Structure 1
Amino acid sequence: MPVVDKTIQTRHAEIRLSETSGKGLPILMLHGSGGARQMFAKQLSSPLAEIHRMVAIDLPGHGQSSDAFDPAATYTISGLAAAVADVLEQLGIKRALVYGWSLGGHVAMELTASHPAVAGLMLTGAPPVARGPLGLLRGFHTHWDLLLASKRSYSERDAERFEQLCFGVGADPAFLDMIRRADGRVRTNVFRSMMLGAGADQKRVAENAEVPVAMVNGADDPFVRLGYVAGLSYRTLWDGRCHVIAGAGHAPFWTAAEIFNPLLFRFVRHVMEREFESGRRERKTAGAA
Structure 2
Amino acid sequence: MTAGDFTIRALDIDLSVRQSAGKGLPIVLVHGSGASKAVFDRQFSSPLSDLFRLVAIDLPGHGLSENSPDASHYTLGGFSRSVGAVIDALGLERALIFGWSLGGHVAIELAQSHPAIAGLMVSGAPPFGKGPISLLRAFQIHRDMLLAGKEMFTPADCERWLRMCYGPVPYPAALSDLKRTDERVRPTIAQSLRKPEGPDQKTIVEDLAVPVAFVNGGRDPIVRLSFFESFEMPTLWQGPHVIAEAGHAAFREAPETFNALLHRFAMDVTIAELRQDRAERQSARGRG
Q: Same fold (TM over 0.5)?
A: yes
Deviations 1:52-96 (A, max 9, x none): 11100100000111111331x211100110111111111111210
* Matched residue, 1:257: 255
1:207 aligns with 2:206: yes
Match of 1:28 in 2: 28
Could you tell me which amino acid in structure 2 is paired with residue 276 of structure 1?
L
Q: Distance in 2 between matches of 1:247 and 1:234?
A: 27
Equivalent in the alignment of 2:278: 280
SS in 2 for 1:22: coil
Aligned to 1:144: 143
Query: 1:27, 1:198 → 2: CA distance?
Result: 31
Q: Which residue number in structure 2 is paired with residue 267 of structure 1? A: 265
Report the alpha carbon displacement of residue 126 of structure 1 after superposing the two structures with TM: 0.1
Measure, in 2, the Cα distance between the counterparts of 1:268 and 1:198: 34
Per the alignment, residue 221 of structure 1 pairs with: 220
Following TM superposition, by how much is the alpha carbon of 1:133 offset from its aligned partner in structure 2, in angstroms?
2.0
Cα deviation, 1:23-48, whole Å, max 9, x if unaligned, reads: 11100000000010010011111111
| Counterpart residue type for residue 261 of structure 2 | L
What secondary structure does 1:274 align onto?
helix
**Where does residue 89 of structure 1 map in the other structure?**
88
Q: C-alpha distance in 1, partners of 2:155/2:40?
A: 24
Distance 1:215 1:146 in 2: 21
Query: Match of 2:170, SS?
Result: coil
Deviation for aligned residue 1:237: 0.7
- Number of paired residues? 286
Partner of 2:46: 46
**Residue 197 of structure 1: CA displacement?**
4.3
Structure 1 pair 227/112, CA: closer, same or farther in 2 (3 Å)?
Answer: same
- Summarize deviations over 1:155-183 as a string: whole Å, max 9, x none: 11111110001111122342111111111
Report Cα offsets for 1:96-138 as digits up to 9, x if no partner: 0000000000000000111111100000000000123222111
| Secondary structure, aligned partner of 2:140 | coil
Contact 1:218 1:247 in 2 (8 A): yes
Q: What is the deviation of 1:12?
A: 4.7
Report if the CA contact (8 A) 1:215-1:242 is conserved. yes
| Aligned partners of 1:12 and 1:70 also within 8 Å | no
Residues 173-212 of structure 1 deviation map (CA, whole Å, 9 limit, x = unaligned):
4211111111121111111111114554210121221100
**Structure 2: runs of 5 or more not aligned:** none
Q: 2:75 matched to which residue of 1?
A: 76
Give the stretch that moved more between structures: 23-32 or 179-188.
Answer: 179-188
CA contact (8 A) 1:62 1:181 kept: yes
Secondary structure in structure 2 of the residue aligned to 1:74: coil
Partners of 1:29 and 1:230 lie apart in 2 by 25
Question: Secondary structure of 1:9's partner?
Answer: strand
Residue in 2 that maps onto 1:16: 16
Alpha-carbon separation, structure 1, partners of 2:78 and 2:197: 10
SS in 2 for 1:6: strand
Instruction: Give 1:210's aligned amino acid.
Output: A
Distance in 2 separating the partners of 1:140 and 1:121 = 20
Q: What secondary structure, in the 3-state scheme, does the structure 2 residue paired with 1:184 have?
A: coil
| Alpha-carbon distance in structure 1 between the residues aligned to 2:183 and 2:131 | 21
- In structure 2, what residue type is equivalent to 1:105? G
The alignment-based identity, stated in percent, is: 47
Q: Aligned partners of 2:278 and 2:68: how far apart in 1?
A: 41
Q: CA RMSD in A?
A: 1.3
SS at match of 2:281: helix
Q: Which residue of 2 aligns with 1:105?
A: 104
Do 2:30 and 2:56's aligned partners in 1 also have CA atoms closer than 8 Å? Answer: yes
Residue 37 of structure 2 contacts residue 57 of structure 2 at CA under 8 Å; is this kept in 1?
yes
- 1:135-157 alpha-carbon deviations (Å, 9 max, x no partner): 21111011111111111111111
The structural deviation recorded for 1:21 is 1.5
One-letter amino acid of the structure 2 residue matched with residue 250 of structure 1: H
Matches within 5 A, 1:121-270: 121-198=120-197, 200-239=199-238, 241-270=239-268
Q: Is the contact between residue 193 and residue 199 of structure 2 (CA under 8 Å) also seen in structure 1?
A: no
Aligned AA for 1:50?
D
TM-score between the two structures when normalised by the length of structure 1: 0.96
